[in-house]
Amino acid sequence: MKKGQSNGLWQTIEKDLRSYPVDKLWLADESNDKLGVLLFGEGIAAGRLGPLLSDLAPDFLSSGRPAKVICVPEVVRRVCEMRDELERWKRLSSIDPLTGLANFRHFREMLVAELDRVLRTKLPCALVMIDIDHFKAINDTHGHENGNQALKFVANVIKDQIRKIDFAARYGGEEFAVILPGTHLGKAVEVAKRLCAVVRDSVVQLDAVAARLTVSAGVAVCKADEIVSPELLIQRADEQLYCAKKQGRDRVCFRPSPQKEELCQVTVEERTHLFRLRDAVHRV
Amino acid sequence: MKKSKLENHPPMILSITSGKGGVGKTSFAVNLAVALSQKSRKVLLIDGDLGLANVDVVLGLNVRSTIQETIENGADPATLMVKVAPGFFVLPASSGVPEMASLSLEEQAFLTGTLERIIDGFDYVLVDTAAGIGESVLWLNTWAQETIIVLSPDPTSMTDAYALIKVLHARYGRDRFQLLVNSVKGKKEGEEVFANMATVLYRFLKVTPQSLGYIPQDSAVVRGIRSQKPFLEMQPDSHASKAVIGIAEKIMHLPRRVTAVLAP
């Protein structure tokens, strides 16, 4: 068996193929009109070699009999290129190039999937919407390049703080969204508060300036007994983010669950204490 | 040294709210605005009682266009502002329009978005909310940076103020409240009411309110309301007027919550 030199193009295929139990492997370089010939032994079904080979060599024997695969260089090259191209497009279409986080489109898809999971697993899913405070001012004062640095910084803080199963995305210009599967409101608020604290306590280098950034966050949860649409969950988290901004920024806002709403009622004990005030005040 | 653009402070937004009606919220809001403008501050007073306007009544204004125009016809609120005195502007509400008291979430967001665009240039924006703990009271309170709770020494007022604080705290996580005791017999009553409220608030809610002060019962106040003129203008030396001026000074010393990016 003659083993030729594998060039770069072949290295990809070669690696794949070597993991299969082929008896013999024969590669030739491009100067031949055959790029490569594979010989493999009995008992190995063609299907195990996967779609790669079926792309390369449509006429193919499916029994375990020894067979030859003859590859046409152009086809091989194109298949490899297409595969790379496909990977690149997949990444482009789901990653935000500046921060390395998922982009909005991908986030939407993930949120739909996660809310489905809530139905299946009966575990709640939390959504945290995070927004850099005074971002417009940063851009105006320090320029867009530094605005980008600020974005990257916050994105990195988020990446550091979340678990592997959590999912972070760049939701908009200066807004981020984090999906926390299997997480209750209390825990989600803890995570959000920690994120705020880390950003608040760090000093960021924007050009030659040591600057301090803060973020505001809004938290909403979808529970199994009250499934919401992705739009509604995003809207709820956004409302809380809005409140955080209104209340002064650099904070986390969340809406307590409906059971907690009863906690808003003034209790008998509180009233008693308040009415004792009446006696106290009337003594004046 | 590089001058940060953030040195031009955005306006401080304060809500004036009470829970119970009739404790003197609007009268206080108007006179506070007068006091601040007299100290060369530019003030916008927004009548947050969107369906039952009061600010214009207290001031004796003849109002033709209100915030309703903004919601329904997209009118620029800047054109609706009424100049009452140098540095004192009013954004009036509509009278007898129930829909305005129950705006949808989109309308609320639209309104606050619009308002945020026109409040640039003001030092202080005061929002006089409606009475009660309805939706409009709550969302206007969350829009503001500082919440001034006006109460009087009577138990219903204190209970309602407590209930309002409880909702704002439990539902919206607000923990800063400025308490103002109105219509007190004297300093002692003012201080006692505050102390007692603070005790109960801390005991049950772990909330520590700030004291904005108190305003004594004063015939000047009644006279002002009857004549539809701010008592601060009619009788600037009255006890009530002096109290309001003191409160204005306290407000001017409140820290502004602006997180600026440091310049070198």
Question: Lowest-pLDDT range, A222-231, A269-278, B74-83?
Answer: A269-278
Mutation site, A141, A205, A234, A249, interface B, largest B CB count within 10 A: A141
Cβ contacts of B154 on chain A, cutoff 8 Å = 278
Give pLDDT, residue A236.
92
Task: Find the length of chain A.
Answer: 284
Test B200 with A274 for CB contact under 8 angstroms.
Answer: yes
Query: Any chain B CB within 8 A of the CB of A142?
Result: yes
Query: Any chain A CB within 8 A of the CB of B254?
Result: no
Q: Report A:28-87 residues touching B (Cβ under 8 A).
A: none
B250 CB-contact burial (10 Å; exposed 0-12 / middle 13-18 / buried 19+): middle
- Higher pLDDT: A165 or A4? It is A165
Test B263 with A243 for CB contact under 8 angstroms.
Answer: no
Among candidates B105, B167, B264 on the partner chain, residue whose Cβ is nearest the Cβ of A209: B264
Q: Do A109 and A97 contact (CB within 8 A), yes or no?
A: no
Sheet holding A252-254, edge to edge: A167-170, A175-181, A125-132, A215-222, A252-254
| Angstroms from A229 CA to nearest CA on chain B | 17
Q: Is a pLDDT exceeding 70 seen at residue A65?
A: no
**Catalytic, out of A87, A109, A174, A231:** A174
Nearest to B92 by CA among B100, B143, B141: B100
Mutation site, B188, B261, B262, interface A, largest A CB count within 10 A: B261
**Chain B residue closest to A150 (CA)?**
B261
What value does the mean pLDDT take over residues A72-89? 62
For B8-39, letters b (16+ CB in 10 Å) and e give eebbbbbbbbbbbbebbbbbbbbbbbbbbbbe
Query: Any chain B CB within 8 A of the CB of A261?
Result: yes
Give pLDDT, residue B53.
83
- Higher pLDDT: A266 or B7? It is A266
- Token pair 């949860």 is found at A221
What value does the mean pLDDT take over residues B167-174? 84
Share of chain B above pLDDT 70, in %: 92
Q: Is a pLDDT exceeding 60 seen at residue A24?
A: no
- Higher pLDDT: A120 or A232? It is A232
Among candidates B109, B189, B197 on the partner chain, residue whose Cβ is nearest the Cβ of A284: B189
Q: Is a pLDDT exceeding 50 seen at residue A38?
A: no
Q: Is a pLDDT exceeding 50 seen at residue A220?
A: yes
| Angstroms from B90 CA to nearest CA on chain A | 21
Q: Is a pLDDT exceeding 50 seen at residue B7?
A: no
What value does the mean pLDDT take over residues B216-228? 93
Using one digit for the tens of pLDDT, what is the confidence trace for A129-172?
999 998 888 888 888 888 899 999 999 999 999 988 899 999 98
Cβ contacts of B264 on chain A, cutoff 8 Å = 208-210
Task: Using CA atoms of B109, B112, B117, B118 in order, give the dihedral in degrees to the nearest 10.
Answer: 150
Q: What is the mean pLDDT of chain B?
A: 87
Share of chain A above pLDDT 90, in %: 29
Query: Any chain A CB within 8 A of the CB of B256?
Result: no
Using one digit for the tens of pLDDT, what is the confidence trace for B64-110?
788 887 777 777 878 888 999 999 999 988 777 777 777 776 677 67
Cβ contacts of B182 on chain A, cutoff 8 Å = none
| Cα–chain center distance at B126 | 4
pLDDT band at B2 (very low <50, low <70, confident <90, very high): very low
| Angstroms from B142 CA to nearest CA on chain A | 6
Among candidates A206, A248, A284 on the partner chain, residue whose Cβ is nearest the Cβ of B185: A284
Mutation site, A131, A206, A246, A250, interface B, largest B CB count within 10 A: A246
Test A256 with B170 for CB contact under 8 angstroms.
Answer: yes
Compute the Cα dihedral for A243, A244, A247, A253 and give only its sign: positive
Give pLDDT, residue A173.
86
Give pLDDT, residue A210.
77
Q: Report B:14-43 residues touching A (Cβ under 8 A).
A: none
Q: What is the mean pLDDT of chain A?
A: 74
Q: Do B168 and B135 contact (CB within 8 A), yes or no?
A: no
Half-sphere exposure of A223 (CA within 13 A, CB side): 10
Mutation site, A205, A215, A241, A266, interface B, largest B CB count within 10 A: A266
What value does the mean pLDDT take over residues B223-251? 94
Query: Any chain A CB within 8 A of the CB of B188?
Result: yes
Q: Do B108 and B142 contact (CB within 8 A), yes or no?
A: no
What pTM value is reported for the model? 0.58
At A222 the three-state DSSP class reads strand
User: What is d(CA A217, CA B132) in angstroms, rounded to the nearest whole number?
Assistant: 29
Interface size A-B, in CB pairs within 8 Å, comes to 113
Strongest mean pLDDT among A33-37, A113-117, A276-280 = A113-117
User: What is d(CA B203, CA B191) in angstroms, rounded to the nearest whole number?
Assistant: 18
Test A270 with B200 for CB contact under 8 angstroms.
Answer: yes
CA distances from A62 to A17, A36, A45, A57, B20 (A): 17, 19, 6, 12, 85
Give pLDDT, residue A277.
59
Q: What is the ipTM of this complex?
A: 0.71
Q: Is a pLDDT exceeding 60 seen at residue B24?
A: yes
Give pLDDT, residue A79.
56
- Higher pLDDT: A250 or B107? It is A250
Query: Any chain A CB within 8 A of the CB of B138?
Result: no
Could you confirm whether A174 is annotated as catalytic?
Answer: yes
DSSP annotation of A263:
G
